[in-house]
Structure formats: C-alpha cells, structure tokens
Amino acid sequence: MKNPTTPLRTILFAVLFLAPVAAAFLALSLFSSEDSVLERSADSIIASCAREPSPLACYDEEIPKLMDRGLTMEKTFAVTRIIQEKKGNYWYCHVLAHELAENEVAKDPSQLTNVLSRCPVNMCANGCLHGAFQERYRNETPADKELDALVDSLSEACVGVDGRAFTQVEKGSCAHAVGHLMIYATDADTVQSLALCDRLSLSENPDIRKNMSYLCYRGVFMQLFQPLDITDETLVEGLAPVGPEGVATYCAAFDGERKEACRGEAWPLFIGELRASADGAHRFCTYAKTPIETYRCYETVFYILAAQFNLDEERISAMCDQFTGNRRGQCYGNSASRFLDTDANLIPRAVALCARAARADAGELCYQELLFDSVYDFGLWSSRFNKLCAALPAPWSTRCFAGEGATTVIHP
C-alpha cells in the first residue's frame, strides 16, 4: 500500500529545496541573458563599424544609439567596456562619454548630481563628468544673482556627490567641466566666466599644475577653441580667432594664468605642426615665459599628442625620443599619465611606457609621474592605487606603497 504522506513530502521537498534552486537558476539565466544582450550589442557595433573607414569614429556615433533604444547610461557604458576589451584601441572615448552623459542629463536637468554620481570611475578620460555639467545649462542662462549660488553648489559637487567622494583627478576634471559650463551659464561672457572660476578652491595637492581655478580657465577657453557641435559653435561664434595668426592678439587681452590657459587651449589651431615634429612643440611653447608656464605648455602638447596617437606606444616613444634631457622624461611621464587619466585598465601599459623611458635614459621623471598619479588619480590605498603600486618596479613600488605620491611635486 502506498504511503499517503508521500505526495505531501514531495510537495514540501519541491517548496523547500527545488523552488530556491529554480529561482537561483532563473536569476542566473536572467543575469546571463542580460550579459549576452550587452555582448551581442557590442559585437553588432564592432561588425558594423569594421566596414567604416574610421571604426573609432563609428563607435562614437553608434554607441549612443543604444540609449535611444532604451538601454540605461550604465549599461551603455558596459557595452563600451566590452568593445574596449575586444578591440583594445578604443580607450580614449572622451567624446562618447560626453554624449552619453548629455543624453542622461537632458532627460531631467534637475538630476545633474544624480548623473554625476553614476558616471563611471577612471573611464573615457572622465568625459562623463564634462558632458553632464555641459548639458545642465545648455538651454538655460541663470540670472546674475543666481550665478554665485550656482558656483558654490558646483564647488560642493566637485568634491563628491551622493556619497561618492571624488579623487583629485575627478575634482580637477570637474573643475575643468565647470569652465565649460560657465560659458553656457553666462551666455558666452568669457570675462565673467573666468571670474567665477576664481571661486573654485578644491586642490588638496601641492603640485601647482593642478590648481583648480587654472583648470577651470582651461575649460572656458577649451569651449571657445573646441566646440563639439552646432550648439557650441553658435554660442561662441565670433569670440575666438579662427586661425593661428590671431591667437597671440586675442589671448593678450587676458593676463597671468588666464592668458596662459588661453594660449594652451588654442592648440587645435597648431595641431599640424605639433604632430609633425618636436620643433612644432618648441615653436608653440615660445609664449611661455616662466618655468612652470613652460612645463605646463609642454604637458599640454604631450597629453594632446598621446590622445591624437590613440595611445600608441610606438608613436609616443618616437615623439618623446625627439626631445632631450628632462623634456624627454617629461614627455614619457606626461604620456604615461595620460594612460592612467584615460582608463585604470591601462595601468600595465603606463608602467610599460616608463620602462621604455628607462631604456631611453628618461625613466626617473616618468616613474615620478606615476608615483604622483597613484594618489592623484586613484586615491591613497584604493584598489587601483594598490594595483599601480604593485605593477611598478623596485624601488618605485616600495615608495608608492609608502604613500610618497601624496607629497610628490613635479614641476620646475
């Protein structure tokens, strides 16, 4: 005779054991399915862009369309990460990150700080922070009496948002983005924008290259010299010189660090000769009159060219080897720093570039730059800090783990 309790025991077994297993399996399936969707999206974009003359420009155009189809900003960045890892040559996606953040802020401009808190860390050269700020006041000009309060709130936002404390490089990127935003908020009043930049005081590092007001000035002038779209172009039309001949005259209207920032951000008008040879860099930097101005001018050149060369180590090395003495070391160091600023996944390549520098008798300044960046870019004792310190050779690894990057100052 059958045991009448068997069905009950079977039911209880299903409820207590099989149901959780089934739920776990379903959750895993859903998770795997989502991962699969993101990977298929990445593969589709890679295949489509492979047929284009410039696949990288194609990625910039195709990836934002994912948000139009309902993908969140975070998942769209996840697709970007998959493309980066599969192709290995799309790390400098600054313009893309601009657009993704702009699209997200445009949904509800009042949610600016929320979007800032959701921007990816150490990815796409912090373009997400830039784009979010820039979009906020694209179609709105606050009254003068509101601007002071705006800058105060932005100063707070640049320290960190919604429980996320910014690293020093993120604070600097944020200050730079405020300069972009000020051009919109003041309806392209350059003088007023620069005055508002003076109210930013966020630096905790003694290296005067990273002065926050100066980085804000750079954002103001970058907006003038490098408009990204038709709205930008319309806003600044007629304000800045359109050719290299008028740069000196235009920038002479400003003084001190403002004038220096103006000359530095005018680099797009000289890009042909900057790419051609070291002589182009030397001619471009003749405007610099002090050691720190000279250092920052060459830093601009090296940062820009590293990105222009799409972080190609061979081309960067060929560029740096045209320089001599400390300038060669600066070239390697600034370029290695550009790798770290662009994406934390490029730590091995930044360290490898300094190894190249060492073989070219320029290793000291390059490794010093990475020591500085260990804290500035990643924050003391963070996982990325530990990863960079562990990747450095002796004695730099020991010095890095000892926290020397917090007091390292690299300028003349």
The pLDDT tens digits of the residues spanning 27-80 come to 444 444 677 889 999 999 999 999 999 999 999 999 999 999 999 999 999 999
- The pLDDT assigned to 33 comes to 66
Q: DSSP letters of 129-148?
A: HHHHHHHHTTT----HHHHH
Average pLDDT, the chain: 88
- The pLDDT assigned to 123 comes to 93
Mean pLDDT of 289-306: 96
**Burial of 398 by CB count in 10 Å (0-12 exposed, 13-18 middle, 19+ buried)?**
exposed
- The pLDDT assigned to 207 comes to 67
Residues 6+ apart with CB under 8 A from 226: 265, 268
Structure confidence at residue 270 as a pLDDT band (50, 70, 90):
very high
* pLDDT higher than threshold 60 for residue 22: no
Answer yes or no: is 2 within a domain: no
- The pLDDT assigned to 5 comes to 42
Residue 378 token pair? 């990643």
CA 2 to chain centre: 71
Count other Cβ atoms within 10 Å, centred on residue 269.
17
* pLDDT higher than threshold 50 for residue 352: yes
- The pLDDT assigned to 28 comes to 40
Mean pLDDT of 4-21: 43
Answer yes or no: is 92 within a domain: no
Flag the least confident range among 153-167, 297-311, 383-397.
Answer: 153-167
* pLDDT higher than threshold 50 for residue 13: no
The pLDDT tens digits of the residues spanning 171-211 come to 888 889 889 889 988 889 999 999 999 888 655 556 666 78
Answer yes or no: is 386 within a domain: yes
Mean pLDDT of 303-317: 96
Count other Cβ atoms within 10 Å, centred on residue 403.
16
Answer yes or no: is 20 within a domain: no
Instruction: Provide the number of structural domains found in the chain.
Output: 1
User: What is the pTM (predicted TM-score) of this model?
Assistant: 0.85
Answer yes or no: is 113 within a domain: no
Answer yes or no: is 335 within a domain: yes
The pLDDT tens digits of the residues spanning 223-258 come to 999 987 788 888 889 999 988 999 999 999 999 999
Domain that holds residue 282: 266-412
Residue type for position 265:
E
- The pLDDT assigned to 100 comes to 96
Answer yes or no: is 344 within a domain: yes
Flag the least confident range among 42-46, 186-190, 355-359, 387-391.
Answer: 186-190
The pLDDT tens digits of the residues spanning 360-386 come to 999 999 999 999 999 999 999 999 999
Structure confidence at residue 163 as a pLDDT band (50, 70, 90):
confident
Mean pLDDT of 263-289: 97
Nearest to 224 by CA among 186, 255, 257: 186
Answer yes or no: is 349 within a domain: yes
Structure confidence at residue 157 as a pLDDT band (50, 70, 90):
confident
- The pLDDT assigned to 212 comes to 87
